[in-house]
Amino acid sequence: MGNAPLRTYATSQIIKFYQRLKLGSENSLVQDVFKAICENSFNPFSRFLSLLDDCKVKLPNPRERKSIKTQTQKSIAALLDMMYDHWDQEILLNKKLQIFNIVKDSHDPDFYIFNIDDRYARKYIASMRLSTHPLRIEVGRYNRTLRENRLCQFCNMNEIEDELHFITSCTLYSDYREILYQELNDLGNPMWLGCNSNEKKLCYLLQPKDMHTSKLIMKYIRSCLDYRNNQTQLVYN
Ligand SMILES: [Zn+2]
């Protein structure tokens, strides 16, 4: 479900491209390539067109060129509305996506997805948002540990090791956190300065809106996970 914003974005781009293809000159290079692909294999849009059909979304008629833009926008809006409704329902029902449900404030792909080139760096924020990490709150789901027993084993706070604890309060990472908070304070974003609880800080940290903040947060999560991993090896070796 976490890639739903990207999927919806890609879908709207496909609709626009498909319309451009339909409206383009018969002799254009793009048309030639499209025809060649269709002749040698299958229509690359066939799956997409059947999806639209299933959703009962009509594509604009390419012959009605005057209103083509408005019609395309309406088609995209109708399809996205359906996808968003489905997405919202899925998120509410999926316990694994509780954090994602809290931090996700729009249906659009988040800032860091398109603006941070390093995909290994992006995965650190995504892992916290989508609960694909080694914290006990997640691991305990698979080994059937009761939620209240999934306590952090790296500090004495007697708290469940979930995303909130890991990012905002576990004492194991106090040094890293002190540096991060100081750097964010120096940036002076009023949204950050106004976060007066750990819950609000978690939301801010997991939905960064600018490049600098995104990089700081990714570095912090990576450092904490690496440190945790080292501590785990010390305990079990
Ligand atoms: Zn802890």
Residue 160 Cα, ligand 1 centroid: separation in angstroms?
A: 8
Q: Tell me what pLDDT residue 120 has.
A: 72
Query: What is the number of residues in the chain?
Result: 237
Asked if residue 105 belongs to a domain, the reply is no
The verdict on 72 and 166 lying in the same domain is no
pLDDT at position 44, please? 59
State in Å: Cα 111 to ligand 1 middle.
29
Residue 162 Cα to ligand 1 middle (Å): 9
Question: 153 C-alpha vs ligand 1 centroid, how far in Å?
Answer: 6
Q: How far is the CA of 166 from the centre of ligand 1 (A)?
A: 6
- Of 31, 63, 93, the residue that ends a domain is 93
Domain match, 125 and 172 both: yes
Q: Are residues 82 and 140 in the same domain?
A: no
* Ligand 1 centroid, distance to 133 Cα (angstroms): 15
| Ligand 1: centre distance to CA 158 (Å) | 8
Say how many Å lie between the CA of residue 12 and the centre of ligand 1: 43
pLDDT tens digits, residue range 146-159?
A: 989 999 999 999 99
The pLDDT score that the predictor gives to residue 189 is: 93
At residue 4, the 3 state secondary structure works out as helix
User: 101 lies in a domain?
Assistant: no
Distance (Å) from CA 157 to ligand 1 centroid: 6
- Would residue 131 count as lying in a domain? yes
Q: Which two three-digit tokens encode residue 174?
A: 């106090």
222 vs 107: CA distance, rounded Å: 26
Asked if residue 99 is part of any domain, the answer here is: no
> What's residue 165's pLDDT?
96
Residues of the chain with pLDDT under 50: none
Domain boundary among 64, 93, 122: 93
Distance 69 CA to ligand 1 centre (A): 54
Beta bridge partners of residue 160, listed in sequence order: 151
- Ligand 1 center to 204 CA (angstroms): 20
Tell me the residue range of the domain where 38 lies.
4-93
The number of folded domains in the chain is 2
Query: Does residue 87 share a domain with residue 133?
Result: no
CA dihedral defined by 114, 199, 223, 155, rounded to 10 degrees? -160
| Whether 88 and 116 share a structural domain | no
Residues 77 and 141 placed together within one structural domain of the fold: no
Identify the CA nearest to 88 among candidates 100, 79, 70, 76. 100
Residue 10: closest CA among 57, 79, 59: 79
Helices (DSSP H) in the chain: which residue ranges?
4-23, 29-40, 46-54, 68-93, 98-103, 111-115, 119-129, 136-142, 163-164, 174-187, 190-193, 198-205, 211-236
CA of 148 to the centre of ligand 1 (A): 14
Diameter of the chain measured on Cα atoms: 71
